[in-house]
Structure 1
Amino acid sequence: MRVSILHILLITVLSFSSAYSQSEKKRVKINTQSSYVEIHGTTNVNSFNCHYNAKLPENEFEVKLIKKGEVIEIQHEALFLKVLSFKCPHPQMTDDLHDLLEYENYPFIIFQLKKISNNKIAHIMIEMAGEKQFYKVNLNNSLDNNQLVSNAIMELCISDFGLKAPEKFFGMVKVNENIEVEFKIDMNIYDK
């Protein structure tokens, strides 16, 4: 089943919802109105923001959590984010982003959460343009009853994925190879 990047980011914050036994299943439902994912980048001239515009899944989904000391392993399928669902302020920027990510050969960015350590560090595998990289993401969370809101900014370097930052207007405008992925996930978490 292919779902949005938000699923992977949602799962990363489940460790805050309660004290887990050795193995436990949870149900999660996303608040699609207040959750988002954005890419922030810069050039030598200005900055830009691109938004993930795909409809977020409204149905509940299940995750399995396995606690091993201070580490919580997450069992789930890999999650897919459609490259063509990213939109930038200008159509040409959107086309450039899609081309940069080689959407024709690699139509999805693939995410898989491996584990959570110290109750706030998510260990994530990301695959773009056929290249895999592993990252650690610090999470900021707030919990109120069954509602959990998680925010984070994740820094990536596109050259780590074998991608070259584009240059425009005969090299006068150069895109910085370092980008940020910012997300806010608002969800409800229930016992299985």
Structure 2
Amino acid sequence: MRRVVFVVFILAALAFTKTDTAVNTTSVVVSSKSTLVVKGTTNVNAFSCVFDSKRLKNPISVTYFSNGQKLKFKETALVLDNGCFDCGGKGINRDFQKILKSETYPQIKLILKETSSLEDKSDVQTLVDVEIAGIKKEYKIPVTVRNNGTTLINGGLKVCLSDYNLEQPKKMFGLITVDDEIHIDFNLVVE
């Protein structure tokens, strides 16, 4: 019996021991000079929807801790209001909002989970959850980080509408169809 109590005590003590996990909290401001563009194609044409970065909710809270060569993040998200995208015209803006199910899910969330340096210190592998229309998917995204007074973060991501249970819209009795794959390109200026 004493042996069982001793083992339980050791396991309990180890469960509350943290190594190299000092939690840090800060905040950052994503500058209005930043760009975020959603690009797609149809069987006829290409389109791009530009996010109005002046309407970002700043500052963004960042909570992180070091875990070996990685930084792990908690509750660090870039929240994009769907209504802040401009696709170049009222009709396509309306279609874009409909694709994203904006009435029910008015925001896209990019949730930073982890970063790790690659061989070139300016290249970073990030682990990000992308939440669209209430569905969250995890992606590994290589990004380039430059720091010269302000931090510049560049990268891109390919997602499929079908991964988020989003229907590809059809126009003109099905003659024009949006392709399933879209690209999200970002160039964030962080202060």
The two structures have a TM-score, normalised by structure 1, of 0.78
Name the structure, 1 or 2, with higher relative contact order (CA <8 Å, separation 6+). Answer: 1
Task: Give yes or no for the alignment of 1:85 onto 2:84.
Answer: yes
CA contact 2:115–2:125 (8 Å) conserved in 1? yes
1:67 aligned partner, one-letter code: S
Q: Does 1:30 align with 2:33?
A: no
Contact 1:22 1:68 in 2 (8 A): no
How well do the aligned residues superpose, as a CA RMSD in angstroms?
Answer: 2.2
Q: Does 1:132 align with 2:136?
A: yes
1:5-57 deviation per Cα after TM superposition (whole angstroms, max 9, x unaligned): xxxxxxxxxxxxxxx9954344423332x211110000111111101125245
Query: Number of aligned pairs?
Result: 167
State the partner residue of 2:17: none
Change beyond 3 A, Cα 1:183–1:162: same
SS in 1 for 2:168: coil
Q: Which amino acid aligns with 1:125?
A: D
Q: Deviations over 1:115-134 (max 9, x none)?
A: 11235111111121121111
8 Å CA contact retained: 1:71, 1:117: yes
Q: How far apart are 1:78 and its partner, in Å? A: 4.3
What secondary structure does 2:29 align onto? strand
Cα contact 2:61–2:76 (8 A) shared by 1: no
Aligned residue identity for 1:89: G
Gaps of at least 5 residues in structure 1 are 1-19
Which structure 2 residues correspond to residues 6-155 of structure 1 after superposition, within 5 A?
22-32=22-32, 34-53=33-52, 55-57=54-56, 60-118=59-117, 120-144=124-148, 146-155=149-158
Query: TM-score, structure 2 length as denominator?
Result: 0.78
Query: What is the deviation of 1:62?
Result: 4.1
Amino acid at match of 2:95: D
